[in-house]
Amino acid sequence: MSFADKAVMVTGAANGIGRAIAGRFAKAGANVVIADVDEQAGRVAETELTGAGHKVKFIPCDVGDEGQVRQLMQDALEFGGPLGVLVNNAAILDSADFLDLEASEFDRVLRVNLRGAFLAGQAAARRMVAQVKAGGEPGAIVNLSSINAVFALPDHVAYSISKGGIAQLTKAMALSLAPYNIRVNAIGPGSIRTAMLDKVMSDESVRTRILSRTPLGRLGEVEEIAEVALFLASPAASYITGETIYADGGRLPLNYTVPVEGA
């Protein structure tokens, strides 16, 4: 599956799932723009991928800032050419119970997770529509939602709400852009092996709880989410739009817990 000479922008791509997605599109031949507020990690990702022979550029960007998103789009087009794919991955997490959550923290999370996806999505969509009107190919947008769009968490209230909002934003964007054949879909990851989750999994009770709700009996890998993103952005998914694909090891259909080896 090739994305040769296509510009692909991935937000929140300095680490974790975003980093894996950027790397996968780079391996598929895309001109990849890594956007993130973490400049140190972003530069490292750029160096690693360019060192492997890929065309990659890191651009610092706070996706909650409209001016920075506008500049990101301009810089990305100058680097990679016509925009083929946007992956809206940038997100942050809150960690307070509903009764204790400060309004400022709620606003902080929604600003990045939902406002940021709207701003980047709208900027990319406007560019893609202009390209279509000029006779170019339609692009695709992939938003990162979460299993927590369905299963809320009382101590990650703003995060859960933002990911539910991403699912609805995806549908609204898909309907708006369908006349231009620009497809918009989302991915809802379950428990994915990242540095943060690995640290949490060192607690045996947490490990048991997480695996007991995962029928496949393991964590997902960031590379597996990257493959879903590549598929949704590709011609192989040409009749799919407005959907959220839950890559969660079977958690969503589960209505019971499963035994965990060693528990």
* pLDDT tens string 46-99: 999 999 999 999 999 999 999 999 999 999 999 999 999 999 999 999 989 999
pTM value?
0.94
Give yes or no for residue 263 having a pLDDT over 70. no
pLDDT the model gives residue 137? 93
pLDDT band at 162 (very low <50, low <70, confident <90, very high): very high
Determine the pLDDT at residue 201: 78
- Can you give the pLDDT at residue 250? 95
Give the ranges where the chain is alpha helix by DSSP (H).
16-27, 39-51, 66-80, 103-110, 116-133, 157-177, 195-201, 204-212, 222-233
In sequence order, which residues have a C-beta less than 8 Å from that of residue 59 and are 6 or more positions away? 33, 34, 35, 72, 75, 76, 79
Of 209 and 26, more confident: 26
Compute the mean pLDDT over every residue in the chain, rounded to the nearest whole number: 95
The residue among 71 and 261 whose pLDDT is bigger is 71
| Cα 74 from Cα 69, distance rounded (Å) | 9
pLDDT given at position 259: 82
Q: Give tens-digit pLDDT for 176-233.
A: 999 999 999 999 999 999 887 887 677 888 889 889 999 999 999 999 999 999 999 9
Residues 6+ apart with CB under 8 A from 190: 147, 214, 220, 246, 247, 248, 249, 251, 252
When pLDDT is cut at 50, 70 and 90, the band that residue 117 belongs to is very high
Non-local (6+) Cβ contacts of 65 within 8 A are none
Tokens of 140: 């695709």
Residue 142 pLDDT > 80, yes or no? yes
Q: Which of 159, 239, 246, 256 is catalytic?
A: 159
d(CA 233, CA 160): 25
For the question of residue 180 being annotated catalytic, the response is: no
Rg (CA), the chain: 18
Is residue 131 within 8 A of residue 137, CB to CB? The reply is: yes
Please say if the pLDDT value at position 262 is more than 80. no
Domains, the chain: 7-247 (3.40.50.720)
Give yes or no for residue 26 having a pLDDT over 80: yes
Give the rounded percent of residues in the chain with a pLDDT score beyond 70. 98
Cβ contact 83:124 at 8 Å = yes
pLDDT-derived band at 1, boundaries 50, 70, 90 = low
The residues pairing with 251 across neighbouring beta strands, listed in sequence order, are none
The β-bridge partners of 34 are 10, 58
In the predicted structure, residue 40 carries a pLDDT above the cut 90: yes
Phi and psi torsions of 7, nearest 5°:
-85, 130
